[in-house]
Amino acid sequence: MDTFVKKAHFLRRTSFGGTLEELNSSSQTSQLLAQWLQENEVVSVPDLGAIEQGKDRHEQLLKFKEWLFNQMISAQNPLQERITNFWRDHFVVSIKKIAIPQHLTDYEVRLRENALGDFRELLWNVTISSAMLSYLDNAENHSGKINENYSREVMELFTIGRGNYSEKDIREGARALTGWIIKRHNEIGKIESIFRSHRHDNGTKTYLGKSGNLKTEDVVDILANHPETAKNISRKLWQTFVYANPEPVIVERLAKVYQNNNRSIKAVVEAIFTSTEFYSQQAYRSHLKNPIYFMLGSLRQLEIKADYMKVLGGLRAMGQVPYNAPTVKGWSQDSGWLTAPSLLTRLNLAQQMTQDYGDDGGFEYQPKCISSNELIKLLLDGKAGAGLLDNCKGLSLREVTALILSSPSYQLA
Amino acid sequence: MKRRDFVITLASSTLLAIFNSSGKAISANKNQKTLLVIELAGGNDGLNTFIPYQNPNYLQLRPTLGIKDGLPVTSTVALHPFLKDLKPILESNRLAVIQNVSYPHPNLSHFRSKDIWQSAHTEGSTHTGWIARYLESVNAKAADAIFLGEEYPLALAGDKDSRYLQLSPKLAVQNKGKLGEAIQSLYSFPQTNTMAEEVRRTVLESEAAIKELSKDLNQRIANHGYATTPLGKQFALLGRLLEANPKVLYITINGWDTHTKQQKTQQRLLEQLGLGLSALDRDIKARGIENNVLIMVQSEFGRRPAENGTGGTDHGTAGPVMILGNVKAGFYGDDPSLDSLVNNNLPVKVDFRSIYAEILQKWENVNPKIVLGQNFSKIGFLG
């Protein structure tokens, strides 16, 4: 990979694709990485106000989504943003079930504050968030009336994975996780997670080999320090940021980083982005952009101003709206998006996003690139591929942009 | 190649083939059975769909919303007047209605209740859909099930990451002018990157399939009397998709959550449903496949028997499920017990999983226990 391609690849993985300015700047990928890992962008999540019903509630959710889209596109620290996205996709909660958007603002703060921190702290914050307590029913789980939903998923999907626990561990874990309730303060728009000791099962539990009057803290400790968690989190991070199906030796290597650095996510992320494999052919353009990536990435790279309702409409038509995953397993990856709605919609969106609407079209695009070649450099690492250049002939710069956004190569990340 | 990749590849490469061979596919696969699931999302009000018109409690509970001009079809049940198109279907012995359907401890949240109906897991986690589990048990391919709509349903989400086909009538690509030509031309160049080539093929094949599907739609609408409304077109598209002989077709119709303005909203929706089902029934019969298609109409819950103060009804528990096809026609599951409500809601008399079980056993010839984890007693609507 030459320096330019290397940087474009780096920016596709650490952000949603570089802008013209970022790609042409003199700063090197190693500098950017160090800077983004070191600097902590303090993001102000919007205050949605009092908890409302019906239409007002719906509008609060839209306001939240508008903020989220803007943040994803123009984060000061794009790597931190991508890692936050990773956790949002990992620790799935759905607004369809939890209904109140104020759950999400609280959840965003928790994910963002811990995105690159200690996985134990992240897991703790997610576990006791009102969003998760509500989504996987742990707020219903109390002594004498056990609900195993969170106990099961936290092991199966969030930490150690299938095959590393028994049904008994699920039951015992559920008992240890008892005691939490959520309390709404409607007027001030806050939802509190409270531990009520009288709702906690104070008996002895045996969980993944440890016995005692275990509590939520113990479950989180045991899971965060479990070697399988180290492997699973490492594997998933690698899959997302480098390539699918990492070799076992890579997973082992990263798991050690996790274990030797007190479960530091930052250490694992740094190891991933500084590995030689990161710039390998196996990694390069190996991912299919999901709908969120396609849409927000296009807006970001081309610096298009967009009406958030248009963005939402586009995402809905492609089948991926944030906080709306169909199941707790989350979204499909890569080839899971080789579907008619996901791909055909992109061809229409490519045209919509780049048209000249005058004053009111929902998208405002001012081409900064002055030639087809420059657009190909910005969006395709300068690699036109078969047929592209010929088909650019006679098209305006806006049309060339739409053509590139529609092209098969542009769908790769 | 991993199994997941295999399934997806197969999906895109067979997409075109199955939709192109409209004439031949039917004769080649005459015995293929299709289950068509129509989900009325939002919670349809069963009491104003199949009206207990002789029960004095009915009008007491619904002084303004109660329907007095229903079409009696039995000594206890009248159809909503806007469902009049269902009457001939009922009389031709092709409609079974199972009343009072829900599950133990009904949940009144849309999300949770939909998840329960679609997963057929009434407790705990709802990772996978019951239809996907059935399809996996018979090693179905991705093209064996088609979802028509935008929000992919849990019912079709399997244990693996793969998805069944998803189509939407809104997907036509606008390929106008020079740019449109340039895009078409660009897509004629094979890609060297495997994933990019997959993208290219999926786009081309999906586009061709959708073009093929929409081609004779207006003719179909005219031939079988589908409504020309957007929903009518969706039903016509279902009729078209049946020609591809999928094992499962799934469609979601939204808008049934009638807390307010119930009278007008439900009237409009039921009319569309009745027109759609009767046109589909004519379409199916015209092709001689009336014994090969079974249609199930379900909703995540029924609505509260007593009307609310805002011209509607709130979330309830049990509701009716309709089964259209080669059935033992009539009403099952008793009349709603309006005199013995439980927390102001209808008592549950039929577990929806026993309907699934009967479909699995009698229609799909699959052991229900494999899909549902347990056995259920027979209702008898499939004889």
Cα–Cα distance for residue pair A157/A179, rounded to 1 Å: 22
pLDDT in tens, B335-367: 999 999 999 999 999 999 999 999 999 999 999
Which chain B residue has the Cα nearest residue A334? B195
Which chain A residue has the Cα nearest residue B142? A339
Interval B314-343 mean pLDDT: 97
Q: Chain-wide mean pLDDT for chain B?
A: 89
Q: How far A88 CA sits from the closest chain B CA (Å)?
A: 18
Is residue A115 within 8 A of residue A265, CB to CB? The reply is yes
**Backbone angles phi and psi of A211, in degrees to 5:** -120, 155
Segments of chain A scoring below 50 in pLDDT: none
pLDDT in tens, A334-382: 988 988 889 999 999 999 999 988 767 789 999 999 999 999 999 999 9
Is residue B195 less than 8 Å (CB to CB) from chain A?
yes
Write down the pLDDT at residue B112: 85
- Report chain B residues whose CB lies below 8 A from the CB of A376: none
Is residue B14 less than 8 Å (CB to CB) from chain A?
no
Is residue B194 less than 8 Å (CB to CB) from chain A?
no
- How many contacts does A have with B, using Cβ atoms within 8 A? 152
Computed on alpha carbons and rounded to an integer, the radius of gyration of chain A in Å comes to: 23
- Report chain A residues whose CB lies below 8 A from the CB of B150: 316-317, 319, 341
Q: Of the candidates A331, A327, A117, A142, which has an alpha carbon nearest to the alpha carbon of residue A224?
A: A117
Contact B150 A316 (CB under 8 A): yes
Write down the pLDDT at residue A209: 97
DSSP summary character for residue B362 = I
Is residue B171 less than 8 Å (CB to CB) from chain A?
yes
Is residue B202 less than 8 Å (CB to CB) from chain A?
yes
Residues of B numbered 90-109 whose beta carbons fall under 8 angstroms of chain A's beta carbons: which are they?
A: 109
Contact B178 A395 (CB under 8 A): yes
- For residue B22, is pLDDT > 70? no
Q: Per-residue confidence at B151, pLDDT binned at 50, 70, 90?
A: confident
- Report chain A residues whose CB lies below 8 A from the CB of B111: 94, 96-97, 99
Q: What is the identity of the amino acid at B241?
A: L
β-strands B145-148, B165-167: how paired? Answer: parallel
Is residue A81 within 8 A of residue A38, CB to CB? The reply is no
Rounded to 10 degrees, the C-alpha dihedral B234/B235/B241/B245 comes to: 150
**Where are the domains positioned within chain A?**
39-224, 227-279, 291-411
Q: Which residues contact B176 (CB under 8 A, 6 or more apart)?
A: none
Write down the pLDDT at residue B135: 95
- For residue B192, is pLDDT > 80? yes
Q: How far A317 CA sits from the closest chain B CA (Å)?
A: 6
Is residue B125 less than 8 Å (CB to CB) from chain A?
yes
Contact A388 B186 (CB under 8 A): yes
Contact B199 A343 (CB under 8 A): yes
Task: Show the tokens assigned to B130.
Answer: 């019951």
Lowest mean pLDDT among B77-91, B158-172, B244-258, B269-283: B158-172
Task: Show the tokens assigned to B13.
Answer: 């490469």
Contact A338 B12 (CB under 8 A): yes
Write down the pLDDT at residue A195: 98
Is residue A140 within 8 A of residue A178, CB to CB? The reply is no
Q: What is the DSSP track for B199-260?
A: HHHHHHHHHHHHHHHHHTHHHHHHHHT--SSHHHHHHHHHHHHHTT--SEEEEEE-----SS
- Report chain B residues whose CB lies below 8 A from the CB of A390: 185
Write down the pLDDT at residue A317: 87
- Find the helix or strand (DSSP H, E) in which B76 lies: none
Write down the pLDDT at residue B210: 81
- Find the helix or strand (DSSP H, E) in which A109 lies: helix A101-114
Q: Per-residue confidence at B4, pLDDT binned at 50, 70, 90?
A: very low
Write down the pLDDT at residue A88: 98
Q: Per-residue confidence at B169, pLDDT binned at 50, 70, 90?
A: low
Look up tokens 């240890």; give the residue: A176
Cα–Cα distance for residue pair A161/A203, rounded to 1 Å: 26
Q: Which residues contact B272 (CB under 8 A, 6 or more apart)?
A: B227, B229, B231, B232, B253
Contact A338 B191 (CB under 8 A): no
Which chain B residue has the Cα nearest residue A324? B151
- Report chain A residues whose CB lies below 8 A from the CB of B182: 391-392, 395, 399, 403
Is residue A200 within 8 A of residue A138, CB to CB? The reply is no
Is residue B335 less than 8 Å (CB to CB) from chain A?
no
Q: Strands of B23-106 (E only): list them.
A: 34-40, 50-51, 71-72, 78-79, 95-102
Contact A386 B189 (CB under 8 A): yes
**Exposure on the CB side of residue A147, measured as CA atoms within 13 A:** 21
Contact B178 A399 (CB under 8 A): yes
Write down the pLDDT at residue B162: 67
Q: Of the candidates A255, A261, A264, A260, which has an alpha carbon nearest to the alpha carbon of residue A229?
A: A255
Q: Per-residue confidence at B271, pLDDT binned at 50, 70, 90?
A: very high
Q: What is the DSSP track for A300-337?
A: HHHT-EE-HHHHHHHHHHHT--TT--SSTT----GGGG
Say what percent of chain B tops pLDDT 90.
73
Contact A403 B152 (CB under 8 A): no
Write down the pLDDT at residue B7: 32
Q: How far B253 CA sits from the closest chain A CA (Å)?
A: 16
Is residue B170 less than 8 Å (CB to CB) from chain A?
yes
Rounded to two decimals, what is the model's pTM?
0.83
Is residue B34 within 8 A of residue B248, CB to CB? The reply is yes
Which site among B1, B105, B165, B202 would you substitute to test the A interface, given the most A Cβ atoms closer than 10 Å to its Cβ? B202
The b/e string for B179-195 (b: 16+ C-beta within 10 A; e otherwise) is bbebbeebbebebebeb
Contact B200 A344 (CB under 8 A): no
Q: Per-residue confidence at B161, pLDDT binned at 50, 70, 90?
A: low
